[in-house]
Structure 1
């Protein structure tokens, strides 16, 4: 229903917009980075995601590119990470079937996602902006 779509978009799309735009001043002063968390579901049909979630994450990926363009002249980099199947409490029943088809044949760990985010906030990634890094054990291939 439309209420579900509204809720999902408020959490997954509008909250990152409001947060990033609200922090432009401090981000500019600190030459900071924005890292949005998208999802593999934003680029490919996923059996457990649903249309509202997938569409909100696709919109966030597009927003990431637009914000990189808008914020770049201010010295602010904007990127995203798109996790695949990660070992968290929100895994759906049937995830093991997906994992068995992954090239790496395992779930990702939350620390692997966190390390990708950290990388995008540090100097080794200083010339990376507008990029979405897939952290998914090859699920996208």
Structure 2
């Protein structure tokens, strides 16, 4: 790249653009799936407040009302994680958005938990095969396919991967269906395998396992039925999960990998 001409270099507009470009290159960058609501939304807000550049992914176009963070539309990629055939194209688009810069964090937060038409949990006896496949594509396969596809960018940053599992991965839950629960248990095992494989490349891989958190995925009646079983006596808030994710992506967690951190107010004690 040649030297900047004197008349352009002295232009304040050019200086502003140069400063913005330098600031962009210096900022840490993260990718979050399922960022439009709940835990993903809280994670984006916290990291954005800390100065990170956030690239979001979801099935829907960017919603500027729900997600009022900087450069949201420019840093949003529409991805249907249930469509495995289209994931390579989605990864390619994410690489374009990264523009060759390192990726400091990948948070695999997106997840689906289908219910029966009556709203009841789907059991191992009545979950349709198509539902099993969709749940595992989104909750289990997408995290490893995204991490593998973005591996070079993660390694360049010595970055961090966080897989969002769940309390239901270790016990039968009155509201969560069988496919959702087993996909989260599989994701916990995958986290350990990824941590072992990625460690020698400087990439840390951990999981966070939320319990009953006040989000849209919480089934009606959860608070009344389960809050008495939680030692801390309350349902958790998305911001409390986001703060644990932030810790795992920070230098404070530089020697933490292969762990699944429970965030459930003591519910599993």
Question: What interval of TM-score do these two structures reach, taking the shorter chain for normalisation?
Answer: over 0.9
Return the offset for 1:55.
Answer: 0.4
Point out the structure with the larger helix share: 1
CA distance in 2, matches of 1:23, 1:120: 19
Q: Is 1:69 equivalent to 2:196 in the alignment?
A: yes
CA distance in 2, matches of 1:123, 1:44: 32
CA distance in 1, matches of 2:157, 2:170: 32
Aligned twin of 2:134: 7
- Superposed CA deviations along residues 20-76 of structure 1, whole A, max 9, x for unmatched, are 111110110001000000000001111111110000000000000000000000000
SS in 2 for 1:106: coil
Please give the residue correspondences for 1:85-100 in structure 2 after superposition, counting only pairs within 5 Å: 85-95=212-222, 96-100=224-228
Q: Is 1:104 equivalent to 2:242 in the alignment?
A: no
Aligned twin of 2:211: 84
Aligned twin of 1:48: 175
Return the offset for 1:124.
Answer: 0.5
Q: Is 1:21 equivalent to 2:129 in the alignment?
A: no
SS in 1 for 2:144: helix
CA distance in 1, matches of 2:229, 2:187: 27
Give the ranges of 4+ consecutive aligned residues of structure 1 lying more than 3 Å apart after TM superposition. none
Aligned twin of 2:158: 31
TM-score (norm 1): 0.98
How many pairs were matched up? 141
Match of 2:246 among 110, 114, 118: 118
Unaligned runs of 5+ in 1: none
Return the offset for 1:94.
Answer: 2.0
By relative contact order (CA 8 Å, sep 6+), the higher-ranking structure is 1
Pair member with larger Rg: 2
SS in 1 for 2:192: helix
TM-score (norm 2): 0.52
Aligned twin of 1:140: 268
SS in 2 for 1:6: helix
